[in-house]
Amino acid sequence: MNILVSIKQVPDTKVIKVNPKTNTLDRSSAPAILNPYDAHAVQEAVRLKQKHGGKVIVLSMGPPQAANAIRKCVEIGADEGYLISDKKFAGADTLATSYALYKAIEKLEKEQGIDLVLCGKHAIDGDTGQVGPGIARRMGMPPLTNVINVESVDTDNKLIRVHRKIEEGHEVIESPLPCLLTVEKTINEVEYAPLPNMLRAARYEPYVWSVDDLEDVDIKQLGLKGSPTIVGTMWPPEKSSGAEMIEGSTDEQVSRLLEVMNDTQELLAVKGGDGA
């Protein structure tokens, strides 16, 4: 079973800084990492490969440095990595991104056959979760989003059964293969890379494809030009008038807090009622 995992290199949003003068992100302030959800997708692919055979192919779109994210996937156990990298892809929103990735998957599907596509639930820089379902729609595959467990894979009958997280719990859903899953972090624990994987990853060079390496590409659907959404304005988060600061000694602060809590709601009474 050949499994393709679509991954993204992202800035670590926990440490990224905003330039207060320009209201733009200072990307140099944040290290680039493999999107954490994608690491779980790769881990799941490796787990399925160990059970059912085949190989794990990783695909990413991004600048040449994104090869580092692919190396990280090789550490986890991916067999092959492909990076589609071209100025024509730049500025893509989720629709244009899913188009470019779809074109690359189509080519890989033709060359080697793909039985399953995995993606992380979303990327932490955009938090959209839109690219996975977009790829599925373009490939004509059923998308199964928010997957928390792959219950079974029936390679003979080409069926997969997974658990999808929904608001009230989860649903058990069966789909024919090939299909596309987007996975939650709870699907597995990403294991520490074994030494041979680390050695292999350090030297690993992914295949790099430009637009010209893909087939039947409609240039108008790529990059900024192919993106229906644009960023209008960016601004730092709103600052309100600010809080009424409660000053004084700790005791004074505490007694003022009690007043506030008593005034604003009958919260203490609520509690008293509960206890009665």
Partner 1 sequence: MSIEEYKDVWVFIEQREGEIFDVGLELLGAGRELADKLEVNLCGVLLGNNVKNSAEDLYAYGADIVYVIDDPVLENYRTETYMKAVGDLVRKYKPEIFIYGATSNGKDLASAVATEVMTGLTADTTMLDINLEKRLFEASRPAFGGNIMATILCKKHRPQMATVRPKVMKKPEADFSRTGKIIEEGLGLKEEDLQTKIIDIVKSAKKSVNLEESDIIVTAGKGIKDEKGMAMVKELADTLNADLGASRDVVEAGLIGHAHQVGQTGVTVTPKLYIVIGVSGAVQHTVGMQNSDVIIAINNDPEAAIFNVAHYGIVADAFEIVPKLTAELKKALDKEGVTTNG
Q: How far is the CB of 272 from partner 1 (least distance, A)?
A: 4
**Count of residues making up the chain:** 276
Q: How far is the CB of 245 from partner 1 (least distance, A)?
A: 5
For residues 53 and 84, give the distance between their C-alpha atoms in angstroms, rounded to a whole number: 26
Relative orientation angle of helices 250-264 and 267-275, to the nearest 10 degrees:
80
For residues 147 and 172, give the distance between their C-alpha atoms in angstroms, rounded to a whole number: 10
Single out the residue of 34, 5, 205 nearest to residue 101, CA to CA: 5
Stretch that binds partner 1, among 77-85, 193-201, 210-218, 240-248 (CB under 8 A): 240-248
Among 77, 81, 134, 223, which residue sits at the site for partner 1 (rule: CB under 8 A)? 134
Among 164, 200, 211, 217, which residue sits at the site for partner 1 (rule: CB under 8 A)? 164
Q: Between residues 111 and 251, which has the closer beta carbon with respect to partner 1? A: 251
Q: Between residues 169 and 196, which has the closer beta carbon with respect to partner 1? A: 169
- Cis bond leading into 178, ω under 30°? yes
Q: Between residues 171 and 215, which has the closer beta carbon with respect to partner 1? A: 171
Q: Say if residues 7 and 70 touch (Cβ distance below 8 Å).
A: yes
Q: Between residues 80 and 93, which has the closer beta carbon with respect to partner 1? A: 93
For residues 125 and 110, give the distance between their C-alpha atoms in angstroms, rounded to a whole number: 31
Among 31, 156, 212, 237, which residue sits at the site for partner 1 (rule: CB under 8 A)? 237
Residues 85-104 close enough to bind partner 1 by CB under 8 A = 93-95, 98
The single-letter DSSP state of residue 193 is P
Among 50, 112, 128, 210, which residue sits at the site for partner 1 (rule: CB under 8 A)? 128
Q: How far is the CB of 70 from partner 1 (least distance, A)?
A: 22
**CA distances (Å), 115 to each of 82, 158, 176, 202, in order?**
17, 9, 10, 28
268 touches partner 1 (CB under 8 A): yes
